[in-house]
């Protein structure tokens, strides 16, 4: 489950807005997830991407058989500013339920790259060592990784890219590598058909993982992107990867512009 969740968070790290138009974009997306061919999960996203600021909200939840076995709910949010070729998150929050237990994290970013962290349950009660302060410096949250590719240098492709991520508990790097153009045929799932850009997504664990569940290196996930909003926004439309439970596929079910975000 955590592998799918991490992939979904950085799925958004690959949205790239062509900022040359100096416009703000407000939109929502919905994704369906299948695990070994069985529908099990849904993700809803609301996004504001502008030349100098950003805000994202996500809601991820299980249903069907997986919900009965491993009930999972998560709501996450972030906002921050864009300064040249860098992003500066202001605050990141995430809260959810995993196997009946409530979990949350609240990260507030300070000048100099440091941050204040409030998490529940506390690290000492969560079977893990704390991430050293030096490894937390100058990191971004999982959702703010989105705007690393929301830069002029990323206008022609949503990848390559790399993000140093700290989510309140774990420190890891997420890397996107360009594969190249491909064509999505009808029947691939979701609403996406036609020309797309394929990338590979890999996660490099660094610190803060549970001691009783050592992080295993998995093959890179595969992601496909298409441009929307008059070719100004790269949107991930299909993702395929591997998890503890088996292979998973996520497809874009709906895309809409918004005025209330």
Examine the pLDDT at 145 and tell me if it is beyond 60. yes
The C-alpha atoms of residue 208 and residue 199 are separated, in whole angstroms, by 27
In a domain, 28, yes or no: yes
pLDDT confidence bin for 153, thresholds 50/70/90: very low
CB-neighbour burial class of residue 200 (10 A; exposed 0-12, middle 13-18, buried 19+):
middle
69-112: pLDDT as tens digits: 888 899 999 999 888 777 899 999 999 987 778 999 999 999 88
Cβ atoms within 10 A of the Cβ of 46, count? 17
In a domain, 160, yes or no: yes
The C-alpha atoms of residue 7 and residue 112 are separated, in whole angstroms, by 29
User: Domain residues for 208?
Assistant: 2-256
In a domain, 27, yes or no: yes
In a domain, 142, yes or no: yes
In a domain, 261, yes or no: no
**What does the angle CA 111 – CA 113 – CA 114 come to, to the nearest 5 degrees?**
85
211-222: pLDDT as tens digits: 887 676 778 999
51-76: pLDDT as tens digits: 888 899 999 999 988 888 888 899 99
In a domain, 233, yes or no: yes
Domain count, the chain: 1
In a domain, 191, yes or no: yes
In a domain, 51, yes or no: yes
Cβ atoms within 10 A of the Cβ of 143, count? 29
Contacts 24+ apart (CB under 8 A), 37-44: 38/64, 38/65, 38/66, 39/63, 39/64, 40/64, 40/65, 40/66, 40/67, 41/4, 41/66, 41/72, 43/8, 43/250
């Amino acid at each position: 489950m955590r592998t799918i969740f991490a992939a979904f968070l950085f799925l958004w790290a690959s949205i790239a807005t062509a900022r040359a138009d100096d416009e703000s974009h407000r939109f929502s997306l919905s994704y369906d997830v299948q695990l070994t061919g069985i529908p099990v999960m849904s993700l809803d996203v609301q996004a504001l991407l502008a030349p100098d600021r950003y805000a994202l909200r996500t809601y991820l939840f299980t249903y069907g058989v997986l919900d009965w076995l491993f009930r999972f709910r998560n709501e996450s949010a972030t906002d921050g500013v864009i300064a040249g070729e860098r992003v500066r998150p202001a605050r990141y929050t995430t809260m959810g339920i995993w196997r009946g237990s409530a979990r949350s994290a609240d990260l507030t970013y300070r000048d100099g790259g440091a941050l204040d962290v409030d998490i529940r349950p506390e690290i000492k009660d969560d079977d893990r060592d704390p991430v050293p302060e030096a490894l937390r410096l100058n990191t971004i949250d999982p959702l703010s990784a989105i705007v690393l590719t929301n830069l002029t240098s990323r206008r022609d492709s949503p990848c390559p890219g790399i993000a140093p991520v700290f989510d309140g508990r774990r420190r890891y790097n997420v890397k996107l590598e360009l594969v190249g153009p491909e064509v999505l045929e009808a029947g691939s799932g979701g609403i996406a058909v036609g020309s797309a850009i394929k990338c590979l997504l890999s996660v490099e664990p660094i610190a803060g993982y549970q001691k009783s569940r050592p992080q295993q290196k998995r093959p890179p996930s595969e992601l496909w992107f298409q441009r929307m909003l008059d070719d100004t926004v790269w949107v991930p439309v299909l993702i395929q990867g591997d998890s503890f439970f088996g292979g998973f596929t996520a497809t874009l079910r709906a895309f809409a512009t918004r005025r209330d975000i």
